[in-house]
Amino acid sequence: MAEEKKEAVTKAKKMADPVKASIDIATQEMIKRAQELGVETVFDRAENMKACQIGAQGTCCKNCSMGPCRLPLPKGGIEGEDERKGLCGATANTIAARNFARMVAGGAAAHSDHGRSVAEVFMSAARKETDAYKIKDINKLLAIAPHFDVATQVEVDGEQLDRDIDEIAVEVGEKALNEWGKAEGELIYAKRAPEALYEKWKKNGVLPRNIDREIVEIMHRTHMGVDQDYKNLVKQCTRAAIADGWGGSMLATDLQDILFGTPYPLQSEANIGIMKEDHVNVIVHGHEPVLSEMIVAAAQSKEMIDYAKSKGAHGIQLGGICCTANEILQRHGVPPAGNFLQQELVIVTGACDAMVVDVQCIFQNLANVAKCFHTKLITTHPIARMEQDNVIHIEFDEHHAIEDAKRILKIAIDNFENRGADVMIPRHKAIQIAGFGVESVEYHLGGTFRGSYYTLNDNIINGRIRGGAGVVGCNNARQRHNDGCITMIKELIKNDVIVLTTGCNAIACATEGLLTPETAAVFCGPGLAEVCETVGIPPVLHMGSCVDNSRILLALTEMVKAGGLGNDISDLPAAGSAPEWMSEKAISIGHYFVVSGVYTVFGGMLPTTGAPVFEKYLFEELENIYGGMWDMVVDPIEHAHAIIAHIDKKRKALGIDKARERILMDMADRQKLETA
């Protein structure tokens, strides 16, 4: 063991039990391996530091230096008047609502700032300031241009001619960038929502003015001594969350699709076992695909492959963690090596020659783990640096993007020969089909002839598909890795609920083999299995990264437009879920789903439990305003059944509950019905 490794040896008193820590065998093997090597991981740290229960309840305020004021819920709950107060008099409901709002602000800021970076690269590409990026998906550009009132045709001598693509791109880019800080008007994409939903937002005064403003206003309102009405605070959460889902995130998705290509289904693999002992392994991690796209291009170049071979490797194996992984998976088939909780374990293989990180969900402890091995840890973003001296910073610039990517790859290739004897790559990996989007779901389930979501709706109306669920989000070291996601989703598909997934939940589904059409025959109820087998899709559709939850919003909108399932998203037999959530982004996503009309269930613990009145507002009263509401169910099977009960409630309201009963009848029952 190297000297550095001895220094970094775990100080943890207790070790995680690998089998209790994860359902994934590769993860279990690597936790054990880390423990044998004396390398501390998040799983061990979770054993040794318990969460603060007051913070977990949402009722610790540190918004001024008279605090922190801690207002735990008394054992047995509140009887009579709730007399808990901070020094300034802030109630538990105000404190929990302020904390919740700040989580929405953090999440919306992360997604939207990501979107802004993409919009800036988009502008560089449109203005031809860089050779590395081009407008790749012209059809998507032409499809979104009308939302920005950008003409795609021009009249010349009384004749309508196609407008120059670069001109359209520059105008779309300028108008898109304006969405972050315009002085007047409302968020343009709000009008992409079903009309009934847009009108609801308008009536309730929650249409976002611009993206940045709604986030800044949360920070102002939650400053000491400003907004003290939990309902008014939730109203501002709503504006900021809509600005995220229907703004920053949706713009990020659209502009990425135009720059890098709209995803279509493709085959790949997933899990740590995608790493190869005889290849240079480069793992990209984070969220923004602008650099990783260039790394993919550079890694496929003859120059880089030859260079890797000259150093004794058979080639370059790219892999990913978290949502950068999902971005390059859905467009290029690059396999994810793992999700959020597996990031340290990828380095523990001893075969990770470089880990390249951008923004969000990156453990600070990666640098300590990298110190124990030969791995070069490379930060690339000016807003996300690490202080440890073994971290290399190569600041990415779109104006010399491909050169930056090659420089990074060369560092990895040069590092190949420095691997120690401690290489252990688990064998486990699974096949997956990923790359679904609004367009491809339309193609697979609607057909090119109809070009709509008609067939999907038809299958819901006739009961083969009971309903749909968007199951998204993270892992959380307070829960068994991947267990909540997978147990819950298996219960949903067993009950004929089709699942749309993104983020680390999608990677969990991939590693458990749920993203193949063959899964349908094994795990699905008869109706969903029949549909999946007929059209050749998995019962769980991988829709991309965290910002691509906007694809789920648009898919729900398409279902409303296709007809037969009501006039608004809140009428659909559909729900949202994040069984293992952990990040502020998840709270922002959850809230924009709720205020878009979706019943949204979180696992683990929501920071609302210490403030029952505020929680009741989120869990019950929001439904009367937006048609969607929050819920929290810890047990994954009960979590699934809460979703199924909601779907059945919506089916009944639509008058399609009887159709499903007929589907579930056997042949004799059906014959009786037909002859009756």
Q: How far is the CB of 99 from ligand SF4 (least distance, A)?
A: 10
Q: Which does residue 272 bind out of ligand MSK, ligand SF4, none, counting CB within 5 to 8 angstroms by kind?
A: none
**Coil, helix or strand at residue 166:** helix
Size of the site for ligand SF4 (CB under 6 A): 14
Q: Which does residue 64 bind out of ligand SF4, ligand MSK, none, counting CB within 5 to 8 angstroms by kind?
A: ligand SF4
The residue among 259, 264, 253 whose CA lies nearest residue 435 is 264
63 sits near ligand SF4 (criterion: CB under 6 A): yes
Q: Which does residue 420 bind out of ligand SF4, ligand MSK, none, counting CB within 5 to 8 angstroms by kind?
A: none
**Cα separation values, 612 from 261, 476, 587, Å:** 46, 24, 18
Q: How far is the CB of 228 from ligand SF4 (least distance, A)?
A: 10
Token pair in block for residue 418: 């420095």
Q: Which does residue 67 bind out of ligand MSK, ligand SF4, none, counting CB within 5 to 8 angstroms by kind?
A: ligand SF4
Q: Which does residue 583 bind out of ligand SF4, ligand MSK, none, counting CB within 5 to 8 angstroms by kind?
A: ligand MSK
Q: Which does residue 110 bind out of ligand SF4, ligand MSK, none, counting CB within 5 to 8 angstroms by kind?
A: none
Q: How far is the CB of 74 from ligand SF4 (least distance, A)?
A: 18
72 sits near ligand SF4 (criterion: CB under 6 A): no
52 sits near ligand SF4 (criterion: CB under 6 A): no
Q: Kindly report the length of the chain.
A: 676
**Cα separation values, 372 from 1, 37, 276, 356, Å:** 8, 9, 20, 17
Q: Are strands 69-70 and 574-578 parallel, antiparallel or unpaired?
A: unpaired
Q: Which does residue 340 bind out of ligand SF4, ligand MSK, none, counting CB within 5 to 8 angstroms by kind?
A: ligand MSK
Distance CA 91, CA 71 (A): 8
Q: How far is the CB of 286 from ligand MSK (least distance, A)?
A: 8
- Within residues 188-227, the interface with ligand SF4 by CB under 6 A covers 224
Stretch that binds ligand SF4, among 14-22, 29-37, 56-64, 286-294 (CB under 6 A): 56-64
CA atoms within 13 A on the CB side of 431: 7
Q: Specify the amino acid at residue 313.
A: A
Q: Quick check: 460 and 2 in contact, CB under 8 A?
A: no
**502 alpha-carbon distance from chain centroid:** 5
Distance CA 207, CA 198 (A): 8
Q: What end-to-end distance do the CA atoms of the chain give, in Å? A: 79
**Residue (473 or 607) nearer to ligand MSK, CB:** 473
Distance CA 144, CA 134 (A): 17
Q: Which does residue 98 bind out of ligand SF4, ligand MSK, none, counting CB within 5 to 8 angstroms by kind?
A: none
97 sits near ligand SF4 (criterion: CB under 6 A): no
**Which of 66, 521, 653, 664 is in the footprint of ligand SF4 by CB under 6 A?**
66
For residue 68, say if its preceding peptide bond is cis, omega within 30 degrees of 0.
yes
For ligand MSK, the binding residues (CB under 6 A) are 287, 322-323, 340, 360-361, 473-474, 503-504, 545-546, 583, 585
Stretch that binds ligand SF4, among 85-93, 358-366, 371-379, 542-550 (CB under 6 A): 85-93
Q: Which does residue 546 bind out of ligand MSK, ligand SF4, none, counting CB within 5 to 8 angstroms by kind?
A: ligand MSK
Distance CA 523, CA 422 (A): 38
Q: Which does residue 394 bind out of ligand MSK, ligand SF4, none, counting CB within 5 to 8 angstroms by kind?
A: none
Query: What is the secondary structure of 290-336 as a DSSP string?
Result: HHHHHHHHHHTSHHHHHHHHHTT-S-EEEEEEHHHHHHHHHHH-PPE
Beta bridge partners of 470: 500, 576
67 sits near ligand SF4 (criterion: CB under 6 A): yes
78 sits near ligand SF4 (criterion: CB under 6 A): no
**Which of 64, 411, 431, 656 is in the footprint of ligand SF4 by CB under 6 A?**
64
**Residue (347 or 359) nearer to ligand MSK, CB:** 359
- Among all chains, which residue has been given the structure tokens 């089709």? 498
**Residue (247 or 473) nearer to ligand MSK, CB:** 473
Distance CA 613, CA 621 (A): 10
**Coil, helix or strand at residue 544:** coil
Report the interface residues with ligand SF4, using CB under 6 A. 61-64, 66-69, 86-88, 90, 95, 224
